[in-house]
Chains A and B, each alone.
Chain A
Amino acid sequence: MAQRAIREYDGKRLFAKHWNEYFDGFHYPFKSVLVTSADELRQKAKEHGFEWLNQEPLVVKPDMLFGKRGKNNLVLFKVNKPGDVTLEDAAKWIEEKQSHEVTLLSGQHGKLTHFIVEPFTPHTQDQEYYIAATTVGEDDVLYMSAEGGMDVEEGWDEKVTEVRIPINMNEADIEKTIRANIPADIPSENREAFASFAIQFFKFFRDMHFAYLEINPLVLIGTDAHILDLVARLDDTAGFLMKDKWGDIEFPTAFGMEEKSPEEEAIAEADSKSGASLKLTILNPQGRIWTMVAGGGASVVYADTIADLAGVKDLANYGEYSGGPTTGETQFYAETIFDLMTRYPDPRGKILIIGGAIANFTDVAKTFTGIINALEKWAPKLKEHNTKIYVRRGGPNYEKGLADIKAAADQLGLEMHVYGPETHITDIVRMALEEDKK
């Protein structure tokens, strides 16, 4: 739950949906479609309301959260000369781009799945502007520039005016402050129109709970506003407030992110269904040290310590379980980890860290029941991989929890060392590794 990116298409759709409410004095000719294939585009062109796909020259770009599409040569706006792209050109281009994996200049790579198709908007450089808003520290900041286009980041300091707007500033002062800071190089005949747009843009950014909103370039032709390119992130914690205003909004995963493994997917699904928190990220499936740590903060210090003492290559996973998972949920989580950690052999054997801070009110013995059940099922495999288990935990009923898990391990013939609050939380990592050296 945090700030999450949305597609350019969805950002524009939000503008269009609320345009009349916010952008007094401007017209936004919202013509935009999002397609996942060339055929979908061809089909779309037959629908009523989308005749423009056949009538106007088009622009096509992937719409998958990454920027610098121009530099990556991933914008189709001309075949021979700018503004001559037909529907069929666009469809063919999509087909070609989808026929292979794409590697960006940043190194991210993957398949292109979503494209945004829009009319080509002829305009002159002096009609282009840059406008963006975000939150810096505790304040909102509005960025404005008389120069739009993809090179705005070069020469940022000279070109862009920043306006800080504290969260508690009233409407009148917001308007006054923005007006007072309109970039000097905007010609006087356009200043009023731009100021009016900027004020309304800021209010839209604020009221819609955007975390980041950038139009680059914004093209103002008379009273027509053209949003040629857009980047947006929403604060998804506001979802419950914005249900109607956002409508059905998608938060896609970033382009080039490795697909989640089935195990990670399964834990994420269990997490979404549970009141408790279950998180799992596999960092190195062949890693030697596996962790099963209770609590978000504790999981970080274990990861820190393993990276410090053993090196990050040995750290197989990151994750945590907390918020009072049921015995069944804990068992499922433990079994998932046991399964993963017994897939690749390591000549040095495996280390399993069952760690955690001193619980507030989670019954440790109860939580451990789920882990014991999982141990019983996976003991032969764990032994096969020469697994040493180190346990450290405190909190309600921890003595019983530690005694129970130790007894179970002894009976199963597993090597296990258990420690309570008298041992420093991460010291079991050091002990496990020192044991190693002997």
Chain B
Amino acid sequence: MSRLFTRDTQAIFWNNNKSAIQRMLDYDYVIKRETPSVAAIVAPTSSAKFEKFFWGPDEIMIDVFRSTKEAVEAHPNADVLLNFASFRTAYDVSMEALSIPNQFRVIMVTAEGIPERLARTMNQAARDAGVTLIGPATVGAIAPGAFKIANIGGTIENIIKSKLHRAGSAGLVTRSGGLFNELCNIIARNADGIAEGVAIGGDRFVGSVFIDNMLRMESNPDVKYMILLGEVGGTEEYKVIEAVKSGKITKPVIAWCIGTIAKHFSSGVQFGHAGASANAERETAEAKNKAMREAGIHVPESFNDLPRVINEVYTKLYNEGVILEIEEPEIRTIPANRRPKNFICTISDDRGEEATYAGYPISSVATPDTGKTIGDVISLLWFKKVYPRWAVDFIETVIKTVADHGPAVSGAHNAKVTARAGKSVVESLVTGLLTIGPRFGGAIDGAAKYFKYAYDNEMTPAEFLAYMKKQGIPIPGIGHRIKSVRNPDLRVEGLKKYAAEFFPSTPLLDYALTVEELTTSKKDNLILNVDGTIGILMVDMWRALGYTEKEIDDFIESGTLNSFFILGRTIGFIGHVLDEKRLAMPMYRHPWDDILYDVKKAEEIG
């Protein structure tokens, strides 16, 4: 890979560093990237599933995960890890990322002060895996016009002034992060900006060193010449000298090592970074500047003289036609005042020509000729997916199956009593709906939850029964008032038959039937009832559709299964309410003789 980043590069950002992420997204918007440069955030202690950020004037959501592993499973294309963990955990975060095979191409580590032995182990592990590790102790890197890490480059105003919004011709490597911006400014004023820039980090042991980055820049056609800002201490600059001498680097190099001041002071004064202390004569800024000059590298007289040399080299390359005039690209601007949105909608949109359900115009799913049914609409609006026919038909079967169960059940009864009190359809309906819960209709949720738990934990039917007994809960979805093995519930039989014919497989149902075998051997009416069958088959459906176990658990936890019952039974409740209205039945009053009155005179206390 000759380029560090492209316009399609996406990163996983480890640590929910909101302001740094927002700066990356602002940059993306300004340079007209199509996708955000941050694909996902890893925040181990967060319970959020996403975080909102501005995308120009609008807002977008970035997924939040608790581990890097989960993040890359959902975003396999993200091949850059921005490790913003503290010095205590940065090592573990990098090592975990490196243990995921063939995922990350670049890892950037910002923490300063990682124990040296851990930093060396981490850096070597990255080299062994062929991963470019930038840092530790760095502000990162930038490929102007393509991708920028976190805070590098400063504010958007400065980025544009320093021409960091589009690729120039220089490749820039520095140790210092603070001077990186300054160098970009100098290069923008005296040349045409940079094509790629990396601040390698100020700690004694860093992952990728000058030479690693410069060899990549040598093969990057966008880079026409390179600028190296080194520092007193270490011998990394000599590797660059070797590469220039041996012809591995052929592009012109401009270089300067800061810290010439150090020679005036024997010891004790730490000038600059942890890595910046000369242990030998050849590690002094003087010696390195001299050696670089002798190798044919363009070395100014002083740091103050650097702009002149940059301009000289640039002008020469420009006159030779190596560097061409850059056409300034159009950029987008970030609105000065942005307000976060109070509401988010991810299922439908009414702003266009025609309102859509999950991107599908209503007319494309509404009329019979579209071949779409209410099951399709549910799959779009509830799950934001186009389900296959067998799943859509199953959903519709469920809705139809639970639509009503006579006037005597508590929800229908409540709706009827309210209607008879003269209340409107909607008031009567919600009275019925409010009855739905753990005891009325809730067995669908419960059955899915407990049977899945038992199955996931590989409990035998006997173990499952023992477990539920210990919990003190009757098994949801098992048992019927009237129906039994000899007198089966035909609704259940219908659902089972449909599943057997159309589901790719039904592991949870198969398991539930072995449980039923055991329960009915104890008592004839302990059959798998209709609620249980629906809940269990929904889990089988989602599994067959490729949802992860976590997603299915989330469906169950968020009450999605109950929703099928609520939707279906609404049909029945409305029927009962309209029935009452048409019958014009009077106000209902419960007869005294059906109530056991047992009222004692209240005792005075206190």
Contacts and interface: CB of A to CB of B under 8 A. Distances in A.
Interface of A: 1-3, 135, 137-138, 166-168, 206, 209, 211, 235, 237-238, 240-241, 254, 257-258, 281, 283, 295-301, 303-309, 312, 315, 318, 322, 357-361, 394-396, 421-422, 424-427, 429-430
Contact of B155 (A135, A211, A395, A427): A395
B261 A300 contact: yes
Contact of A361 (B154, B177, B202, B303): B154
A138 B126 CA distance: 13
B318 interface: no
B272 A297 contact: yes
Residue of B88, B112, B182, B265 ringed by the most chain A CB atoms within 10 A: B182
Nearest to B182: A357
Contact of A430 (B112, B157, B177, B304): B304
23 contacts: A1-B113, A2-B204, A2-B274, A3-B116, A138-B120, A138-B124, A238-B116, A238-B117, A295-B178, A297-B182, A300-B258, A307-B261, A308-B260, A308-B304, A309-B302, A318-B269, A360-B154, A360-B181, A394-B182, A396-B157, A421-B185, A422-B189, A426-B303
Contact of B304 (A240, A357, A361, A429): A429
A166 B123 CA distance: 12
Contacts of B185: 358, 394, 421
Contact of A298 (B115, B117, B182): B182
B424 interface: no
A209 B117 contact: yes
A283 B258 contact: no
Main secondary structure of the interface of A (DSSP, over half): mixed
A240 to B, nearest CB: 6
B178 A322 contact: yes
A396 B158 CA distance: 8
Contacts of A211: 116
A380 B102 CA distance: 66
Residue of B121, B139, B181, B204 ringed by the most chain A CB atoms within 10 A: B181
Contacts of A426: 303-304
A358 B181 contact: yes
Interface in B125-163: 125, 128, 139, 151-155, 157-158, 161-162
Contacts of B155: 361, 395-396
Given A209-B117, A238-B115, A396-B157, 19 more contacts: A138-B124, A168-B121, A209-B115, A237-B116, A240-B88, A281-B269, A297-B175, A297-B176, A297-B178, A298-B182, A304-B303, A307-B261, A322-B178, A360-B154, A361-B155, A394-B181, A396-B154, A424-B307, A425-B186
Nearest to A306: B261
A237 B181 CA distance: 28
Residue of B124, B161, B303 ringed by the most chain A CB atoms within 10 A: B303
Nearest to B190: A424
Nearest to B115: A238
Contacts of B474: none
Given A297-B272, A424-B186, A167 B151 contact: no
A383 B274 CA distance: 38
Contact of A237 (B115, B123, B231, B268): B115
B273 interface: yes
B90 to A, nearest CB: 11
Contacts of B115: 209, 235, 237-238, 241
Nearest to A315: B261
A421 B161 contact: yes
B87 A301 contact: no
Residue of A166, A359, A427 ringed by the most chain B CB atoms within 10 A: A359
A206 B117 contact: yes
Given A135-B116, A426-B304, A296 B151 contact: no
A1 B205 contact: no
Contacts of B154: 358-361, 395-396
Nearest to A427: B304
A358 B112 CA distance: 21
B259 interface: yes
